[in-house]
Amino acid sequence: MSDNFKLDLAQRPRRLRRTASLRAMVEETVLRPADFIAPLFVVEGRAAPDPIKSMPGVFRLNIRDLVKECRALQKVGVPAVALFPKLDPKLKDDVGSQALNEDALVLRAVRAVKKAVPELTILTDVALDPYTSHGHDGVLNEALDDVENDRTVGLLMKMAVLQARAGVDLVAPSDMMDGRVGAIRQALDAAGYTGTGIMAYAAKFNSAYYGPFRDAVGSAQAAGTRLLSKATYQLNPANRREALIETQLDDVEGADILMVKPAGLYLDIIRDVREATRKPVAAYQISGEYAQIQAAAQLGWLDLARCRHESLLAIKRAGADMILTYFAKEMATLLRAGR
């Protein structure tokens, strides 16, 4: 065969990959700082930032340092933060009573951030797992083998109203109790907080990748294990159609934003939800996804910068309008610098 052989092709897709400028012109999915929501962990006291060993580069912050971090995030273009408290274990009990304390840690954190950085959007988690001595997202039944759905929802309604009163922009129920979105919407409206939105953890799966987060908020310590099963209320990872049932219910009940969690392992679910609703779709790149990338990069097995970018690009390409990620600050800083 001649070295000068040429194929007779009308279509050569590589033409548009030939130079960097051509590739930029036809790029279909673009990440922006405004795509990211930064999850942040807050603790009591004035101690220095406390590193979370299973999440390199992530810290538990006192309220003063939390405010500083929020200012820094706003400066690099991150529009929103999600706050998660880590309580002293002595404050935890079987029913998570500290969640209804009107001067709870997370409520003080919200007020401090809103005062210092009023333009920043604040989300707060509506679930009892940071507050319960057993680490579950609700109140256990008498047999202590399952969470009581309706009793838990009653507490979540009160919790959401307290958070709205503190000034949050979006309450984010992550518990996966049946009917909680509609009940929270009714409670917020009845209390006069019609402007407070709901970002529902609509399709939250019973994932094995939550371990580092449970370390961060102390729910693993409360339960005595990071392997705590929440299979009776979180979605079965095998079920795709059921995820759509859950998201459609939350949509009808009044959720303003529908979230899929985890993100990277559930790109098919993100796409399904994107095609099933006209509402904004969020996805949470969870602690285990973050920890995997960091650990492999530290061992020299992966390129951190490229894998970080590719993992987030995939989530947005699947259909997410916004991404909760522990990479938010780093990514926003690089994107603003044009890198």
- 331 vs 5, more confident: 331
Does residue 258 surpass a pLDDT of 50?
A: yes
Mean predicted confidence (pLDDT) in 208-216: 93
**In a domain? residue 116:** yes
**In a domain? residue 2:** no
**In a domain? residue 286:** yes
Residue 131, H or E segment: none
**Amino acid letter, residue 323:** I
CA–CA distance, 115 with 113 (Å, rounded to integer): 5
Exposure letters 50-82 (e unless 16+ CB within 10 A, then b): bebebbbebbbbbbebbbebbeebbebbbbbbb
Quick one: tokens of 112? 């401090």
Least confident of 3-7, 202-206, 216-220, 301-305: 216-220
Q: How many domains does the chain have?
A: 1
Pairing type for strands 281-284 and 170-173 reads: unpaired
Does residue 225 surpass a pLDDT of 60?
A: no
Residue tagged active-site, from 114, 230, 261, 316: 261
- Give phi and psi for 265, each to the nearest 5: -85, -5
CA–CA distance, 233 with 156 (Å, rounded to integer): 15
**Amino acid letter, residue 300:** G
pLDDT tier at 226, thresholds 50, 70, 90: low
Does residue 113 surpass a pLDDT of 70?
A: yes
Does residue 199 surpass a pLDDT of 80?
A: yes
Q: Is 204 a catalytic residue?
A: yes
Residue tagged active-site, from 86, 114, 204, 230: 204
Residues 6+ apart with CB under 8 A from 205: 234, 235, 236, 237, 243, 261, 262, 266
Least confident of 69-73, 166-170, 208-212: 208-212
Q: Is 261 a catalytic residue?
A: yes
**Amino acid letter, residue 215:** D
| Residue-level pLDDT at 313 | 98
Could you tell me the residue range of the domain that residue 155 belongs to? 30-336
Does pTM top 0.85 for this prediction? yes
**In a domain? residue 198:** yes
How many CB atoms sit inside 10 A of residue 245's CB? 12
| Residue-level pLDDT at 222 | 47
Q: For 293-333, what is each residue's pLDDT tens digit?
A: 999 999 999 999 999 999 999 999 999 999 999 999 999 99
- Tell me the CATH number at 326: 3.20.20.70
Q: Which of 315, 309, 257, 313 is nearest to 286 (CA)?
A: 315
Pairing type for strands 197-204 and 121-126 reads: unpaired
Does residue 1 surpass a pLDDT of 80?
A: no
Helices (H), 191-303: 211-217, 219-223, 241-253, 267-276, 287-298
**In a domain? residue 287:** yes
- Helix, strand, or coil (residue 199): strand
Mean predicted confidence (pLDDT) in 9-33: 96
- Give the DSSP per-residue string, 284-331: E--HHHHHHHHHHHHTTSS-HHHHHHHHHHHHHHHT-SEEE-TTHHHH
Mean predicted confidence (pLDDT) in 57-67: 98
**In a domain? residue 137:** yes
Distance of CA 66 to the CA centre of its chain: 17
pLDDT tier at 200, thresholds 50, 70, 90: very high
| Residue-level pLDDT at 235 | 97
Mean predicted confidence (pLDDT) in 66-87: 98
Mean predicted confidence (pLDDT) in 274-293: 98
Instruction: Please provide the average confidence, as pLDDT, over all residues in the chain.
Output: 95
Asked whether the beta carbons of 254 and 231 are under 8 A apart, the reply is: no
Share of the chain above pLDDT 90, in %: 92
| Residue-level pLDDT at 338 | 82
